[in-house]
Chain A
Amino acid sequence: MEGLFFNVNGGYVEGIVRGYRNSLLTGQNYSNLTQCESIDDVKLQLGPSYGDFLATLPPNPSTSALAGKMTDKLVSEFRYLIAQSTGSTAKFLEYLTYGYMIDNIALLITGTLHERDTRELLERCHPLGWFETLPVLCVATNIEELYNSVLIETPLAPYFKGSLSHQDLDELNIEIVRNTLYKNYLEDFFNFVNTHPDFAGSPTQDVMSEILQFEADRRSINITLNSFGTELSKQERRKLYPEFGKLYPEGSLMLSRAEDVEGVALAVSAVADYKAFFDAVGLSQGGSGMGGMGGGPADGKSLEDLFYQKEMDMSKLVFTRQFTPAVVYGWMKLKEQEIRNVTWISECIAQNQKERIGNFISVF
């Protein structure tokens, strides 16, 4: 029943995204890319899927320029989708942009704290995280003004409310602010896909819950691993864990008490997937190479690589479902990974480090 009326509003968008999915690079494309000798060759190989966007690049462009143009294509396609969607689908797509908004706001807060010219910062903002009131943030000259009159107008205001005061913005490390916002965002998004009448009981709820739970767990694990050796206290750390996911609540509690990599491995051992990851990179046996891309065992894969791999698998599986805007999420993640892959390959080519060129994640 739940799919009966989906196509009235969301059918077009879903169809478009399935079309976009077909232009994603395949294993064959990647193996062609790895054979390239120069960035120009890479550009040529990308021709079929990115042609019009790469046309303006100068000969032998830098990898960042290449990645920038690829992102431009993603952005323009996403903007088209969001313009075509309506109702709950539009709301869902907006939720996808909030993650980028958080990054942009963190950037602007950093700029304001250091009294930089915030107009310069606008150019550095991620275009997907752009919202109408973003330029208004530049009006604020100090952090209190920013908090009281400007942030409140942004779509992210609910995430500030209740967990961050303007003193916090001034005193806390910007990373803590960013991760607190992200935690609130993930919880809100999770709540949205589970309770919104259009999504509750639909495939959207199924797939998105799973993906968001994974995202929440991944963040908790990463925050814990990355906080070792920094001034972040355990209490503060605990506040950054999203309060849902497969690890919540027992795993989160154990994570908050973990003092080393073994502690983290123990905390996640209740979930088979994560335990397998930790075993694969040899962290559970007390390996000292903190998930090293270079030094880790497991054929050079780091924990983050495995997480990305898992994320890609889930995003790919989203396309087996129908009547759901979750395919947009899957497509976006796949596309982002694709941009990262191409950047990696072209970096390897540009820096003549061909031996590590295979270290990307090919999905199709």
Chain B
Amino acid sequence: MSGAVGREPVFPTRQSLGLMKAKLKGAEVGHSLLKRKSEALTKRFREITRRIDEAKQKMGRVMQIAAFSLAEVSYAVGGDIGYQIQESAKQARFRVRAKNENVSGVYLPQFESYTEEGVNDFGLTGLGKGGQQIQRCRETYARAVETLVELASLQTAFLILDEVIKVVNRRDINSELDELDREEFYRLKKVSNKKQRDNAAADAEILAARERAAEKAAQNGTPPVAEAEEPETTDVLGEQEDNDVIF
């Protein structure tokens, strides 16, 4: 029951002691497992954060170089070749493959880039002049896209890991505890109901016995002995407030 703060109210019996011990052990094992998982994920997460930082800085540089190589092309060709390139490109040369990586039960998608060597759609562009610049520009841009793919892969992993780590650290344990709490509460309620019924029956019996004893005493002329003690012994496990024991 959630009445006492930070304390699990249980019946002080051997059985429930054993139960609680088993439960505690389970909880500890579960907790340490989750902790380990969370640590593994966090480690991975930190590594990914670091790599994202690196990749982003690299991207900045690579994109700058790529944009500049385009400026070189426009200097060498002396005009706009964009349209011609767009029209002559038919097949993708640069392609991306998706893979799954398992990190402590979490599947992280990974993108892997590769170039299709056979495809060379605008190999002849700039045949008259600027062809070499165009080819070099293409290589530079291929490298830039490669960096982008790497970054995309890292970013996806970052998002997924972030979510998973949050779940593992907080929500999972809490929801598990809540669940346990509810279960326990229900069980205790059930038990106490049963006890109350039993108590009522026992009280009725004692009352009847006492009446019989009073009748006997009236017949024998002796006062009843340890009158006050009798209800105490029967009521120890009950829900009622214990009466003071008077010796």
Contact = CB atoms under 8 A, between A and B. Distances in A.
Interface of B: 64, 67-68, 71-72, 74-76, 78-80, 83-84, 87-88, 120, 123-133, 136
A107 B127 contact: no
B84 A225 contact: no
A173 interface: yes
Nearest to A68: B80
A179 B128 contact: yes
Given A103-B79, A230-B123, A344-B75, A110 B128 contact: no
Contacts of B83: 107, 110, 121, 124
A106 B128 CA distance: 13
Contacts of A223: 127-128
A336 B79 CA distance: 10
Contacts of B84: 106-107, 110, 174
Contact of B124 (A110, A173, A348): A173
A77 interface: no
Contacts of A304: 76, 129-130, 132-133
Interface residues of A, number: 49
Contacts, number: 99
Interface string A31-57: 000000000000000000000000000
Interface string A55-86: 00000000110000000000000000000000
Contacts of A222: 127-129, 131
Contacts of A22: none
A111 interface: yes
Nearest to A226: B131
The 7 closest A-B pairs by CB, nearest first: A226-B131, A347-B71, A175-B124, A230-B123, A175-B127, A110-B87, A344-B75
A178 interface: yes
25 contacts: A106-B84, A107-B83, A110-B83, A110-B84, A111-B87, A116-B87, A124-B83, A174-B84, A174-B88, A176-B127, A179-B127, A182-B128, A222-B127, A222-B129, A223-B127, A226-B131, A229-B123, A231-B124, A292-B132, A293-B76, A304-B132, A304-B133, A344-B75, A351-B67, A353-B64
Contacts of A103: 79
A171 to B, nearest CB: 14
Contact of B68 (A116, A178, A353): A353
Contacts of A106: 84
Contacts of A107: 83-84
In this complex, the member of B76, B79, B84, B128 whose beta carbon has the largest number of chain A beta carbons within 10 angstroms is B128
Interface in A110-124: 110-111, 113-114, 116, 121, 124
Nearest to B126: A226
A340 to B, nearest CB: 5
A219 interface: yes
A225 B68 contact: no
Contacts of A227: 124, 127
A349 B149 CA distance: 29
A351 B64 contact: yes
A21 interface: no
Contacts of B68: 347, 351, 353, 356
B128 A219 contact: yes
A75 to B, nearest CB: 13
A352 to B, nearest CB: 8
Nearest to B133: A293
